[in-house]
Amino acid sequence: MQNFVFENPTKIIFGKGQIPKIGKEVSRFGRKALLVYGMGSILKNGIYNQVADSLKKAGVDFVDFPGVKSNPVLSHVQKGIALAQKEKVDVVLAVGGGSVIDAAKAIAAGVKVGHDIWDLFTFSQPVTGALPVLTVVTVSASASEMNNGAVLTKEDGCQKYCIVSPFIQPKVSILDPTVLFSLSPGYSAYSAVDVITHMLEGYFNNTAFKTPIQDRLVESLMKTVMESTDIIMEEPDNYSARANMMWSAILGFNGLTTAGMGRVQMPAHMIEHSLSAIYDIPHGAGLSIVLPAWMTWALETKTERLAKFAREIFTMKGRGSKAVAEKGIACLKLWFESIGSPVSLKAANIPKNDIDKIAENAFALSQVWFYEGYSKEVIIQILKNAC
């Protein structure tokens, strides 16, 4: 285990009937909030009314900023920054899933800078501050409600990049598993894929020598996610399954599973960012295509690690590590397919002839992230495994 610093200051309020507490929590940080949300689902399921009533009772004024789409875009965030500055809000409240929370984080940081916010995402300028961010979670996948990262797509050039800063870490997040009951089967599946990929990226791509604590955390959380998702597909309103999924999503990507793992890389996310930036497919759908393809590419260099994954997650047996690893990859693909998530470019209607364009886009991100070993040619090899 390598040296590390673990700090996660987000306050989590978890369980049934907790959303009405958001007003009091927001009032601790400001008196006027920018209320950021998506395409209107919270207006239909009653969550908006719960949040608005709570804010009013706590004496918090608020300004609506709806319209965040899946895979949030720079142009919309820029409008949010302008609105926040015009209205002189002093806190940002996100009500939604990872896309909404990421947009809210970007707005919170953008209010504080006097330059193009995209400079933060290319790392040409540092994040120097942000308005306080609080969240009410309606989709559990990205763990953005309890981590310090945010992802945004610049439409011009189809660049899907990220920022990481303690300034954008949410102060408080409310998680009520019952709000997930109405989540579609597709997005329930994509959420599971996202959670699993977050954990496996660190599991496979770290610089530590031996990490039994982190390995077992990942393995147990992944089994819980898979078991819970299988139940959710049959019983969407199963509270226990939704609650376990909601909490696993946070634990999988809030810094806990990678503490002590040294430098962690996320090559599957790097390549997937190109898929969702160019084709606007759900992030989880893109990950279920890329992750098994990357694992197949990594067979020669990470044989023992992939075999360990196969033995621990799918109880694979056998003497040959490579054969065991291959069976594990096949089982993961089958499980992704069983919950309705695509495992090939063809299944997502992405033309094979576009591989060169996708690889060019992903390679540009690998340069921003300083990922060595992922040339355009290597990325093409990985994408060919996804055909």
What would the pLDDT profile of 23-33 be if each residue is shown by its tens digit?
Answer: 999 999 999 99
Q: Do 370 and 258 fall into the same domain?
A: yes
State the pairing for strand pair 133-137/149-154: unpaired
Residue 79 located in a structural domain: yes
Structure-token pair, residue 133: 């961010």
What is the percent of the chain with per-residue pLDDT over 70, rounded to a whole number?
Answer: 100
Is the pLDDT at 216 greater than 90? The verdict is: yes
Q: Do 369 and 317 fall into the same domain?
A: yes
Is the pLDDT at 305 greater than 90? The verdict is: yes
What would the pLDDT profile of 235-256 be if each residue is shown by its tens digit?
Answer: 999 999 999 999 999 999 999 9
Nearest one of 148, 144, 229, 237 to 191, comparing CA atoms: 229
Number of domains in the chain: 2
Q: What is the mean pLDDT of residues 175-201?
A: 96
Nearest one of 216, 218, 225, 213 to 199, comparing CA atoms: 218
Residue 137 located in a structural domain: yes
CB-based contacts of 25, cutoff 8 Å, min separation 6: 11, 13, 134, 171, 172, 174
Model confidence at 1, in pLDDT bands (50, 70, 90)? Answer: confident
Q: Is 290 exposed, middle or buried (0-12, 13-18, 19+ CB in 10 A)?
A: buried
Q: Do 246 and 109 fall into the same domain?
A: no
What would the pLDDT profile of 54-94 be if each residue is shown by its tens digit?
Answer: 999 999 999 999 999 989 999 999 999 999 999 999 999 99
CATH code: domain of residue 49 = 3.40.50.1970
- 36 close to 94: Cβ distance less than 8 angstroms: yes
Q: What is the mean pLDDT of residues 311-323?
A: 91
Q: Average per-residue pLDDT in the chain?
A: 95
In 298-351, which ranges are continuous DSSP H helix? 303-314, 321-338
Structure-token pair, residue 40: 């209107």
Q: Is 6 exposed, middle or buried (0-12, 13-18, 19+ CB in 10 A)?
A: exposed
Residue 289 located in a structural domain: yes
Residue 22 located in a structural domain: yes
Q: Which of 152, 178, 204 is the last residue of a domain?
A: 178
Write the DSSP symbol of residue 207: -
Write the DSSP symbol of residue 149: E
- 32 close to 85: Cβ distance less than 8 angstroms: no
- 153 close to 365: Cβ distance less than 8 angstroms: no
The confidence score (pLDDT) of residue 158 equals 92
The percent of the chain in helix, strand and coil, each rounded to the nearest 5, is 55, 10, 35
Q: Do 116 and 227 fall into the same domain?
A: no
Q: Do 169 and 243 fall into the same domain?
A: no
What would the pLDDT profile of 130-140 be if each residue is shown by its tens digit?
Answer: 999 999 999 99
CATH code: domain of residue 239 = 1.20.1090.10
Q: Which of 178, 207, 229 is the last residue of a domain?
A: 178
The confidence score (pLDDT) of residue 318 equals 80
Nearest one of 146, 365, 164 to 269, comparing CA atoms: 365
Q: Using CA atoms in the order 36, 11, 7, 74, what is the torsion angle rounded to 10 degrees?
A: 0
What does the longest C-alpha to C-alpha distance in the chain come to?
66
Half-sphere CA count of 86, side-chain side, radius 13 A: 9
Q: Do 332 and 362 fall into the same domain?
A: yes
Q: Across the strands, what pairs with 196?
A: none
- 134 close to 29: Cβ distance less than 8 angstroms: yes
Model's pTM, two decimal places? Answer: 0.93
What would the pLDDT profile of 11-54 be if each residue is shown by its tens digit?
Answer: 999 999 999 999 999 999 999 999 999 988 899 889 999 999 99
Q: Is 369 exposed, middle or buried (0-12, 13-18, 19+ CB in 10 A)?
A: middle
- 360 close to 159: Cβ distance less than 8 angstroms: no
Residue 3 located in a structural domain: no
Q: Which of 178, 195, 226 is the last residue of a domain?
A: 178
Quote the CA–CA distance of 273 and 283 in Å, as a whole number.
Answer: 8
Q: Do 278 and 157 fall into the same domain?
A: no
Q: Do 192 and 172 fall into the same domain?
A: no
Nearest one of 82, 149, 87, 161 to 118, comparing CA atoms: 161
Q: Do 94 and 155 fall into the same domain?
A: yes
**Residue 143 is part of which domain span?**
11-178
Quote the CA–CA distance of 63 and 37 in Å, as a whole number.
Answer: 11
Residue 135 located in a structural domain: yes
Q: Do 277 and 302 fall into the same domain?
A: yes
The confidence score (pLDDT) of residue 317 equals 86
Q: How far is C-alpha 81 from the chain's CA centre?
A: 22
What is the percent of the chain with per-residue pLDDT over 90, rounded to a whole number?
Answer: 94
Q: What is the mean pLDDT of residues 159-167?
A: 95
Q: Do 199 and 169 fall into the same domain?
A: no
Residue 285 located in a structural domain: yes
| Phi, psi for residue 275 in degrees, rounded to 5 | -60, -50
Q: Do 132 and 270 fall into the same domain?
A: no
Residue 164 located in a structural domain: yes
The confidence score (pLDDT) of residue 283 equals 94
